[in-house]
Chains A and B, each alone.
Chain A
Amino acid sequence: EVQVVESGGGLVQPGRSLRLSCTASGFTFDDYSISWVRQAPGKGLEWVAFIRNQVHGGTTEYATSVRDRFTISRDDSKSIVYLQMNSLKIEDTALYYCTDYTFWGQGTLVTVSS
């Protein structure tokens, strides 16, 4: 069964950092390019970041709102994708999903507040 589980969310002060993890199972993780998508409370979906599989260079793309603050990376040996979030802002508060658009986790909640 294909499964992805996001973790690492929590309450953090503005300006601090947090690292999210997306752990996958049930499929050949190396073959997949992965995105992070977030959803602020009561709001719509916002695409955040993307990492290609190694066949396509493992390169990355970012939303304008997070570029230079967030870094997506992957460890194929562990079937994990990370989202390192630095200089967090209140507007980064959201439920963060890991997805390839066909599978989605349940999300991990990040709350940025003083």
Chain B
Amino acid sequence: DVVMTQSPLSLSVTLGQPASISCRSSQSLVNREGITYLNWFHQKPGQSPRRLIYQVSNRDSGVPDRFIGSGSGTDFTLKIGRVEAEDIGVYYCMQGSHWPRTFGQGTRVEIK
């Protein structure tokens, strides 16, 4: 199975400041068609997850443009341009290029 490793596992951020989460895969996520299926999800406390980003850098409908996904191969990053109060919760990366699909451990974001 592809192992997804996120860092840091916990992040304390000042409102209005940027935040960055790293996600590394144990093997390349570029599939046979040359597409990289790397997703980012956000789970607020007590809620179901919500996908923010798909295929590395594409924002889902309604996702604010302060969320930016980037990366390639085995190294990926989710950046939050200026953290807002509603951004607290846990962020997960998930690879969709290999079976079985696998999630990272999650990164908990809190406000200082």
Counting CB contacts under 8 A, is A29 at the interface?
A: no
In contact, B100 and A63 (Cβ under 8 angstroms)? yes
What B residues does A50 contact at CB under 8 A? 101
Q: Assuming A62-B100, A101-B39, is B51 touching A47 (CB within 8 A)?
A: no
**Best-surrounded residue of A45, A99, A102, A107 (most CB of chain B within 10 A):** A45
**Best-surrounded residue of B41, B51, B100 (most CB of chain A within 10 A):** B100
Q: Which of B39, B50, B92, B100 contacts A61 (CB 8 A)?
A: B100
Counting CB contacts under 8 A, is A35 at the interface?
A: yes
Residues of B within 8 A of A (CB): 1, 39, 41, 43, 48-51, 54, 60, 90, 92, 94, 99-106
Q: Which of B48, B54, B90 contacts A97 (CB 8 A)?
A: B48
- A3 CB to closest chain B CB (Å) equals 12
Q: Assuming A44-B106, A45-B41, A64-B1, is B101 touching A104 (CB within 8 A)?
A: no
Chain A residues with a Cβ closer than 8 Å to the other chain, count: 19
In contact, B100 and A47 (Cβ under 8 angstroms)? yes
Total of A-B residue pairs, C-beta within 8 Å = 45
In contact, B102 and A97 (Cβ under 8 angstroms)? no
A88-102 at interface with B (beta carbon < 8 Å): 97, 99, 101-102
In contact, B49 and A105 (Cβ under 8 angstroms)? no
In contact, A44 and B100 (Cβ under 8 angstroms)? no
Grouping DSSP codes into helix (H, G, I), strand (E, B) and loop, the A interface class, with mixed when no group exceeds half, is strand
What A residues does B41 contact at CB under 8 A? 45, 101
What A residues does B105 contact at CB under 8 A? 44
Q: Assuming A50-B101, A61-B100, is B90 touching A44 (CB within 8 A)?
A: yes
In contact, A101 and B100 (Cβ under 8 angstroms)? no
Q: Assuming A44-B106, A45-B94, A101-B39, is B48 touching A106 (CB within 8 A)?
A: yes
In contact, A47 and B102 (Cβ under 8 angstroms)? yes
What A residues does B43 contact at CB under 8 A? 45
